[in-house]
A and B are shown apart, each in its own frame.
Chain A
Amino acid sequence: MMQKKIRNDKFNSKADSVADLLGTASRSHPERLKEIITDLENKNVEIIYRPDEALGYSPGLREGTPRQIIIHEKASISTWEHEYMHFLNDEERGFLCMKSLYDSNYRVLTELNAYIKEVEFVKSLSGNNDKIIKQLKKNFSEEFKYIIENFGDITNTGLINRIKSFKNL
């Protein structure tokens, strides 16, 4: 997937900054990881492990078709939570499949939710992790720019206000 770009969750130390801090989820948070994987598997999400630097959530092609999570074998718990958030948001909307890809408001919303989750998690850790938080916010900004250039501007004013708050988080 991925010429290892950061945008769209490309996995590298910038895309998974928390991996440098906590290491792989299976060691740092094995129970939470098990919960996430169990829920995904029970809901027929294909989990595709990749040895290369790839990750992301793909909605199904059509209603009832398999959704996929592509994830690095050694991804951090923060990255797992990020991709899991995309699944949960998709589930809340009743799995709109490919149509959700073209909905900028939704795409930005689910990225925002995922990055807020990551930033709040990093803030809960001990130590000075400002650099990681800065990187996560930068990743969100890049995703945001990509989405509006590719799928059109967002129109939801509540969402715009949430983005402003996130930048100050």
Chain B
Amino acid sequence: MMGHILPLNPTIEKMSDTELEKNFAKKPVIFGKQNYYPVFAKRMDKFKDFLFSELIDSNNIDDFVMGNVTTSWLIAIAILDYADNDFYKTEMVILIKQNWDDTNFKNFLKYIKNEEKFVKYFK
């Protein structure tokens, strides 16, 4: 069995839902903003609406973290990696198709092309 792709920050993982929200709202975000998304994704039942709004936020779509990888890509990968309900993943794919431009979408698919357990939701 292949392990997870994104690391979970153990300190953030121990936070309650309220602490997660409160700390993520701080500027700058304590322990680094990007470390929260995998934890939010693991608690998708509670944070689905929030994560989906972050996924299609234009600031995150345009925020290049390293190379071609954007914050929106990392949110999508976090959901594919940690959400335990396939319905959320299917819903996410619809949102991506509606909100990311074609080039960005194609680049993302190209980046995840070898990860069959991710790609299947986009077919």
Interface of A toward B, CB cutoff 8 Å: 1-3, 5, 7-8, 10, 48, 54, 56-59, 61-62, 64-66, 68-70, 97-99, 101-102, 104, 107, 148-153
Query: For residues 9 through 35 of chain B, which have their beta carbon under 8 Å from a beta carbon of chain A?
Result: 9, 28-29, 31-35
Query: Is A70 in contact with B32, judged by CB distance below 8 angstroms?
Result: no
CA A97 to CA B74, docked complex, whole Å: 13
CA A65 to CA B62, docked complex, whole Å: 24
Question: Given the interface contacts A61-B114, A65-B114, does A3 sit within 8 Å of B32 by beta carbon?
Answer: no
User: Which of B5, B6, B68, B111 lies in contact with A1, CB distance below 8 A?
Assistant: B68
Query: Is B32 in contact with A58, judged by CB distance below 8 angstroms?
Result: no
Query: Is B62 in contact with A2, judged by CB distance below 8 angstroms?
Result: yes
Cβ of B105 within 8 Å of any chain A Cβ, yes or no, is no
CA A52 to CA B7, docked complex, whole Å: 32
Chain B contact-residue range equals: 20 to 34
Beyond known contacts A61-B5, A69-B67, A102-B9: 9 more, CB 8 A cutoff: A2-B62, A3-B62, A7-B64, A56-B64, A61-B112, A99-B7, A148-B28, A152-B35, A153-B32
Query: Is B68 in contact with A151, judged by CB distance below 8 angstroms?
Result: no
Query: Is B35 in contact with A58, judged by CB distance below 8 angstroms?
Result: no
Query: Is B5 in contact with A62, judged by CB distance below 8 angstroms?
Result: yes
Q: Which of B35, B66, B111 has the most CB of A within 10 A?
A: B66
Contacts of A2 in B (CB 8 A): 62, 64
Query: Is A58 in contact with B66, judged by CB distance below 8 angstroms?
Result: yes
Query: Is A70 in contact with B68, judged by CB distance below 8 angstroms?
Result: yes
Cβ of B77 within 8 Å of any chain A Cβ, yes or no, is yes
Question: Given the interface contacts A1-B68, A1-B70, A101-B69, does A152 sit within 8 Å of B6 by beta carbon?
Answer: no
CA A149 to CA B70, docked complex, whole Å: 15
**Nearest chain B residue, comparing its CB with the CB of A101:** B66
Question: Given the interface contacts A58-B111, A65-B114, A104-B32, does A150 sit within 8 Å of B65 by beta carbon?
Answer: yes
Contacts of A148 in B (CB 8 A): 28, 32
CA A8 to CA B66, docked complex, whole Å: 6
Contacts of B114 in A (CB 8 A): 61-62, 64-66
CA A10 to CA B111, docked complex, whole Å: 19
User: Which of A56, A66, A149, A152 lies in contact with B66, CB distance below 8 A?
Assistant: A56
27 of the cross-chain contacts (CB-CB < 8 Å) are A1-B68, A1-B70, A2-B62, A2-B64, A8-B66, A54-B68, A56-B67, A57-B67, A58-B66, A61-B112, A61-B114, A65-B114, A65-B115, A66-B114, A68-B111, A97-B5, A98-B5, A99-B6, A101-B65, A102-B7, A102-B34, A104-B32, A149-B29, A150-B32, A150-B33, A152-B31, A152-B32
